[in-house]
Amino acid sequence: MNMNMNKISIRKALCLLALAPAALLGACTGSFEDINTDPYAAGKDDMNNDNYIVSSILTGMQGWVIPLDVNTHQFTDIVLGGALGGYTADSNPGLSTRIAIFNPTNDWTRVMLIRVIPEIYTAYNKLKVNSDDEVALALASVIRVSAVHRVTDTYGPIPYSQIGADNALTSPYDSQEQVYDRLFAELDAALEVLRAHSAESIKATSDKVYAGNLAKWVRYANSLKLRMAMRLSYVAPEKAEAKVREALSEEAGGVITSNADNAQIPTQNNPFRVVMYDYNGGDSRISADITSYMNGYKDPRRAKYFTMSTFTGGIQNGYIGLRSGISIPTQSLLYSNMLVDYTTPLMWMNAAEVAFLKAEAALRGWYGSTADARTLYEEGVRLSFEQWGLSGDCEAYLADATSLPASYVDPLGKESNTGETGAITVKWDERGDFETNLEQIITQKWLAIFPSGFEAWCEFRRTGYPRLMPATNNRSGGVIPQGGYANRMPYPVEEYQENNAHINEALTLLGGPDNMATRLWWDCKVK
């Protein structure tokens, strides 16, 4: 793990936003280069040079949704989302403080707020200075929503609506409900513009995700709206249903239904590859949670997702994950790793996820009929198998009414799981009650969206599924009870130091102590 991240705070980044528009093209202070390197360094006169600034800002913003920066990504999507979402496990025995064992340092928990928000906001405001193109601004809004919903889903209340207002260098917090309401409004406004231009395209150089195809952006934005709407299923079901119906309406412009429309960004230095192979021989390995489920189901996707373990001494190798939240053994690098190359794209959202979101909506009576839940569930599985080139194996998998998630047996004999495992099959349970069918939907969605660990963690918090193994090395000091799980990240120390006037308001909005045990606004299901 590389801990030498650039030191940047929201307050320092807001220095950019508080300046007059022309000043946004330069540095805030003489030492700004020590805070962050401007990736869009070009003069406004270059705008007419193949729309350089607009293109670089849009593509730069895209690189911060699922961060392309390796160090940032490690924190947001591997040691945070991946470890808490059941996909990855820390494998560096030298790490004594970690999110997975509930005693992380500020360097581990600060990144979403201190790193992502400034990057997104600085770029967005720079775009507004340099362009009045409604399509470019609409795309930037969709990208911003894509990034910010992950930030609020990390902490709960965050500075959002008043960032940079009245030239202020510190910002009040919005409640998570207020953030979501604003995100929906921004997404709707952007969709109105994009739908009006959906038959057009923009320069491919301005868009790493869809190469300028605006119709695909409409489908992605509606799919994102669907994801966010389902997040509210327990805390605000009427609002959730309304947003689901809006996203799936005929006039909305469609959602992602084909793998050809999957939202993903190319990379030449895939962070999963760097972190899981290059950092210290691999700072993370595949989690025992996902290998146990897939082993039990005899899932053909294992050969696409994982490497085989490399134990010696008579241990039978296979797809054997390392349990997360444990005292890391010295033999940690012998467990299965992720199959990933440097050029493997980073997935934002795939067609399978959207099908499973529709399946849950149908199960809740918010889309089609409840009978459609099975059809959409099976569609989600088929889309995932197709994505990985395994369509021929899918029907046998869907027909399996006997296989169950496997209990985890640690080959080293130290961290086997003696607790409850899932008791659901792959084949749709026609006689199952709501919770049984919901568990089936969420479990298969979890398997299909790998390795999008942050989204997996969100869905685990929202629904309680899939059933994950608890940490055995709980270092929370009693904050998280034994057998419990992390529900959020605490606010950065920098906010207490530089935004103290507002952080106490944030705690009131949070409704609980600023620790990993306090639930988010939408995380209210009785589990």
Cα 309–314–315 angle (5° rounding)?
A: 35
**pLDDT at res. 218:** 98
Query: For the chain, what percent of residues have pLDDT higher than 90?
Result: 85
In tens, the pLDDT along 405-442 reads 999 999 999 999 876 677 899 999 999 999 999 999 99
- Grade residue 47 by pLDDT with cuts at 50, 70 and 90: very low
DSSP-assigned states of every residue in 240-274: HHHHHHHHTSGGGT----SGGG-EEE--SS-HHHI
Residue recorded with tokens 């008579």: 314
Terminal alpha carbon distance of the chain = 34
* pLDDT higher than threshold 70 for residue 485: yes
Task: Examine the pLDDT at 30 and tell me if it is beyond 50.
Answer: no
1: confidence class by pLDDT, cuts 50, 70, 90? low
What SS3 state is found at 46?
A: helix
Rounded CA separation 424/404 (Å): 6
CA angle, 81 as apex, 80 and 83 as ends, to 5°? 70
Average pLDDT over residues 282-293: 98
Q: What DSSP string runs through 88-136?
A: EEE--TT--S-GGGT---HHHHSHIIIIIHHHHHHHHHHHHHH---HHH
pLDDT digits (tens, 9 = 90+) for 154-208: 999 999 999 876 545 588 999 999 999 999 999 999 999 999 999 999 999 999 9
Q: How do residues 129-154 score in pLDDT, each as one tens digit?
A: 999 999 999 999 999 999 999 999 99
350-378: average pLDDT: 97
Q: Which amino acid is at 423?
A: A
pLDDT tier for residue 67 given thresholds of 50, 70 and 90:
very high
Measured between alpha carbons, how far is 485 from 86 in angstroms, rounded to an integer?
A: 11
Tokens standing for 523?
A: 């995380």
- pLDDT at residue number 24: 32
Domains of the chain: 271-463 (1.25.40.390)
pLDDT attached to residue 522: 98
Cα–Cα nearest to 319, from 333, 305, 330, 340: 305
Compute the distance between CA of residue 518 and CA of residue 156 in angstroms, rounded to an integer: 10
Secondary-structure percent of the chain, ordered helix, strand, coil, rounded to 5? 50, 5, 45
Question: For residue 209, with 0-12 CB atoms within 10 Å meaning exposed, 13-18 middle and 19 or more buried, which class applies?
Answer: buried
Q: What is the pLDDT of residues 101-130, one digit of tens each?
A: 999 999 999 999 999 999 999 999 999 999
